[in-house]
Structure formats: C-alpha cells, structure tokens
C-alpha cells in the first residue's frame, strides 16, 4: 500500500514486546494472534488503510492456521 515510493501503513507479523509483556501475561498455552495498533501516515488517513491492513492480517493468520 505504498504510493510514489512513500511509506504508508504498516503492521508487524510478530510483536515480541507483547510476547514478553509482564502486564499482558498469557493465561494459558493456547496460541494468540493480536493486532495491537496501526500507524497510518496523515496523507493516507480516511482511505480505508486500517481496514485493508486488518483484512490482510486476518487472511495471513487464517492461512497460517489461526
């Protein structure tokens, strides 16, 4: 989702800080997929970028067996 070689919205596939969080500790051994935030530059806001990112994340997780 870039435009003219500029950075647009991004997301992380594996968020290590969440895995190592002392506040958000695991409650069981079940694997969890989480979307913790989106960062969308001002130029790309109000164009559905977060929706497209979330759809891509869900599609990826589903393809990986989530």
Q: How many helices (H) and strands (E) does the chain have?
A: 2, 0
Model pLDDT, residue 59: 94
Model pLDDT, residue 63: 95
pTM here is 0.62
Model pLDDT, residue 62: 93
**CA pair distance 65, 1, nearest whole angstrom:** 25
Model pLDDT, residue 44: 82
Model pLDDT, residue 27: 87
Name 54's bridge partners: none
3-state secondary structure of 59: helix
Q: With a cut of 70, which residues of the chain have pLDDT below it?
A: 1-13
Model pLDDT, residue 17: 76
**CA pair distance 36, 28, nearest whole angstrom:** 19
Provide the 10 A C-beta neighbour count for residue 30.
6
């Amino acid at each position: 989702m870039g435009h003219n070689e500029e950075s647009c919205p991004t997301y992380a596939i594996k968020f290590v800080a969440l895995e190592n969080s002392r506040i958000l500790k695991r409650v069981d051994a079940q694997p969890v997929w989480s979307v913790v935030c989106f960062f969308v530059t001002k130029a790309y806001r109000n164009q559905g970028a977060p929706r497209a990112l979330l759809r891509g994340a869900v599609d990826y997780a589903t393809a990986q067996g989530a």
